Amino acid sequence: MRNYFISGVILLSFVIPGFSCTSAVVSGKATDDGRPLLWKHRDTGDVENKLVYVEGSTYDFVGVANRVDTLSQQIWMGSNEVGFAIMNTASYNLNQGQVCDVPDDQEGLFMRAVLEVCADMDEFENFMDKSVGTWGLAANFGVIDAKGNAAYYEKGYYDYTKYDVTDSEVAPEGYLIRTNFSMSGTRDKGYGFIRHGVTSDLFQEQEHISVDFILEAATRNLKHGMLKKDLRAGQLPIDRNDEQYVLFQDYVVRTASASTLLIQGVLPAEDPQLTTLWTVLGWQPVTLVTPVWVKSPALLPSIVVSRDGAPAPINAAAMALKQSCFPVKRGNGQDYLLHSQITNQAGTGLLDIVLPAEAKIIKKTKSLQNKWRKKGIRDRDLKKYNKWLESHIRDTYSDDLGEGIEE
């Protein structure tokens, strides 16, 4: 019996961190342009992710799903055509001592369901109120809508606690951060305290929260909150040939980091279809952002879509590049990062190459957004933009990163 118990403890120690995520809900009061932001840096055992367009029962939506989920039954972060957006982080200090007659871990099913039928925060709350006890949930759900609402809901089996990010008494800085514990849950239980602290410190350094900041600094945050060691600063390896390894645990970026979605909402008077999904569909240090909008399945870039069950092309390329960062395959090799492959003094690290190439995407996308905000969103503009985007990303991977993206 003792052997079974030990095996269970060991298994749990590996499973729990695999479902760790770092997130933020930012109200328009705290952003540089007055539009709310919803950010999820996803960690999971299912590291092969894809972007899907789902024609829902009431509303169409775009979201991140696992590659193996061929029916896209579970959505892990996304936004629908009327600007309602949702994401989650698993919480490990809710439902203490409670039991429920339905299976646990239904967060992906739940988010798909609400994206199909909810237009705003009120409808989301009504959905939860009418389905008490029917979902096996333990999560922090971040939500924004096209009316300017922004909130976290710490949701268990039977109830939820709302944290209104637009309320200055609840969120004095205009944003809130969650990892893998809930403020309303059992004190000092859960996971992600170190990631929560280092992310909070990073946000507090900003006068305004922007898309650029979250993509460049927050989702590629390589500073350890406990050890205060920043892998992007200080004494860096000399070049890609410098074999310096670091123990890679409790950073925001983790071995199990799979994707990021940063959803940029709209001003209350704007067309909800201007909601922008800044998608990093792979291990973040080696994956370029692919901005998308909820327009039609045909207007999603082909590099983020899974065809016939195969990995999304950009995700497959990122997975291949990630392997060079973790070359030790035996034992606990996955915990040791070859630092020089990410960044180095010569500026030849993979992240050193990704960030300038991504800056061009951000600049081009902002120009398109500004045009659409004045003249309206147009399919022909999006088709032209997608053609440029795919060409730029493919060229960057094949010419600069050394890993081609399949057609």
Read off the pLDDT of each residue in 380-404 and give the average, rounded to a whole number. Answer: 96
Which pLDDT does position 165 carry in this prediction?
A: 98
Which pLDDT does position 9 carry in this prediction?
A: 34
Which pLDDT does position 103 carry in this prediction?
A: 87
Q: What distance in Å separates the CA atoms of residue 279 and residue 299, rounded to the nearest whole number?
A: 15
As a whole number, the mean pLDDT across the chain is 94
The one-letter code for the residue type at 181 is F
Phi then psi for residue 121, to 5 deg, are -65, -40
The answer to whether residue 8 sits within a structural domain is no
Q: What tokens were used for 315?
A: 């995700």
Which pLDDT does position 12 carry in this prediction?
A: 37
- Render pLDDT for 5-59 as a digit per residue (tens, 0 to 9): 333 333 333 344 456 899 999 999 999 999 999 999 999 999 999 999 999 999 9
Residue 273 has pLDDT above 50, yes or no: yes
Angle between helices 350-375 and 313-325 (to 10 degrees): 150
Which pLDDT does position 1 carry in this prediction?
A: 34
Q: What distance in Å separates the CA atoms of residue 48 and residue 65, rounded to the nearest whole number?
A: 9
Which pLDDT does position 16 carry in this prediction?
A: 47
Q: Do the Cβ atoms of 191 and 180 come closer than 8 Å?
A: yes
Q: What distance in Å separates the CA atoms of residue 281 and residue 271, rounded to the nearest whole number?
A: 26
Percent residues over pLDDT 90 in the chain: 91
Which pLDDT does position 8 carry in this prediction?
A: 36
Q: What distance in Å separates the CA atoms of residue 251 and residue 231, rounded to the nearest whole number?
A: 10
The answer to whether residue 258 sits within a structural domain is yes
Question: Which CATH number is 395's domain given?
Answer: 3.60.60.10
Confidence of residue 407 (pLDDT cuts 50, 70, 90): confident
- Is 344 or 18 the better-scoring residue by pLDDT? 344
Residue 327 has pLDDT above 50, yes or no: yes
User: What are the strands, taking DSSP E only, across 60-159?
Assistant: 61-66, 77-80, 85-90, 139-144, 150-155
The one-letter code for the residue type at 281 is L
The answer to whether residue 295 sits within a structural domain is yes
The answer to whether residue 165 sits within a structural domain is yes
- Is 407 or 14 the better-scoring residue by pLDDT? 407
Confidence of residue 101 (pLDDT cuts 50, 70, 90): confident
- Render pLDDT for 105-160 as a digit per residue (tens, 0 to 9): 999 999 999 999 999 999 999 999 999 999 999 999 999 999 999 999 999 999 99
Q: What distance in Å separates the CA atoms of residue 161 and residue 282, rounded to the nearest whole number?
A: 32
Residue 3 has pLDDT above 90, yes or no: no
Confidence of residue 97 (pLDDT cuts 50, 70, 90): confident
Which pLDDT does position 247 carry in this prediction?
A: 96
Read off the pLDDT of each residue in 87-99 and give the average, rounded to a whole number. Answer: 94
Confidence of residue 60 (pLDDT cuts 50, 70, 90): very high
Read off the pLDDT of each residue in 350-362 and give the average, rounded to a whole number. Answer: 98
Please tell me the total number of residues recorded for the chain in this structure: 407
Residue 341's nearest CA partner among 331, 330, 355, 326 is 326
Q: Which domain holds residue 255?
A: 17-401
Q: What distance in Å separates the CA atoms of residue 377 and residue 303, rounded to the nearest whole number?
A: 22
Residue 77's nearest CA partner among 95, 65, 59 is 65
140: which strand partners? Answer: 89, 154
Which pLDDT does position 20 carry in this prediction?
A: 84
Tally of domains within the chain: 1
Read off the pLDDT of each residue in 58-71 and give the average, rounded to a whole number. Answer: 96
CA atoms within a 13 Å half-sphere pointing along the CA-CB vector of 118: 25
* Prediction pTM value: 0.94
The answer to whether residue 128 sits within a structural domain is yes
DSSP 348: -
Read off the pLDDT of each residue in 277-287 and give the average, rounded to a whole number. Answer: 98
Confidence of residue 195 (pLDDT cuts 50, 70, 90): very high
Long-range contacts formed by 94-98: CB under 8 A, 24+ apart: 94/138, 94/139, 94/154, 94/155, 94/156, 94/182, 94/184, 94/185, 94/186, 95/138, 95/156, 95/157, 96/185, 96/186, 96/189, 98/156, 98/157, 98/158
Q: What distance in Å separates the CA atoms of residue 43 and residue 251, rounded to the nearest whole number?
A: 11
DSSP 216: I
Neighbour count for residue 262 (Cβ, 10 Å) = 25
Q: Which helix (H) or strand (E) holds 367?
A: helix 350-375
Read off the pLDDT of each residue in 239-248 and give the average, rounded to a whole number. Answer: 96
The answer to whether residue 6 sits within a structural domain is no
223: which strand partners? Answer: 230
Q: What distance in Å separates the CA atoms of residue 252 and residue 230, rounded to the nearest whole number?
A: 11
Which pLDDT does position 19 carry in this prediction?
A: 66
